[in-house]
Amino acid sequence: GYGDCEDTSLLLCSLLRNAINAHVVLGSLQGYGHAWVVNEGQIYETTYTQAQPVPDPEHYIPFVLFDDQAVLELWPGALREVFNLTRNEALKLNLIAEVVNGFATCGHNS
C-alpha cells in the first residue's frame, strides 16, 4: 500500500483503538510537519519499514492530538500552527526513488 505519515498514522490509530487508548498526533519532527501515533507517552512511528523504538523522541514536538471522538489542541491556536509547518516533499521523493532503485538493483522489478 501507499500513504504518507498522516495516512499510516490514521490507519494504525484506528486499529489500535480497538484495544488501547491511542491518538494520532500532528506536530513537528526536526522542524517539519509530521504525524505519528501515541499511547501513554509511547511514540508509534508509522514511517519506519520495520517496528523499532523511536531513537529520538525528544525531536517529536506535539501540537494536536485526536481520535475518533475529540481533538485536543495543546495550546490555543495549535491546530492552525500545524498547518503552517513545512513539509519536505523533496526528501520524501528522494527516499522513494532510493527504495525503487534498490528494488530494481536487486531484481525486484514490478
110 pLDDT above the threshold of 50: no
CB-CB neighbours of 76 under 10 Å: 7
Using the structure block, give the residue that is written with the C-alpha cell 499511547.
39
- pTM of the predicted model as reported, rounded to 2 decimal places: 0.75
Q: State residue 99's pLDDT score.
A: 63
Cα radius of gyration rounded to whole Å, the chain: 15
pLDDT digits 0-9 by tens, 80-92? 888 888 766 665 5
Q: What average pLDDT does this structure show over 44-63?
A: 91
The CA-based dihedral angle spanning residues 28, 29, 32, 36, taken in that order and rounded to the nearest 10 degrees: -70
pLDDT digits 0-9 by tens, 1-40? 577 899 999 999 999 999 999 999 999 998 889 999 999 9
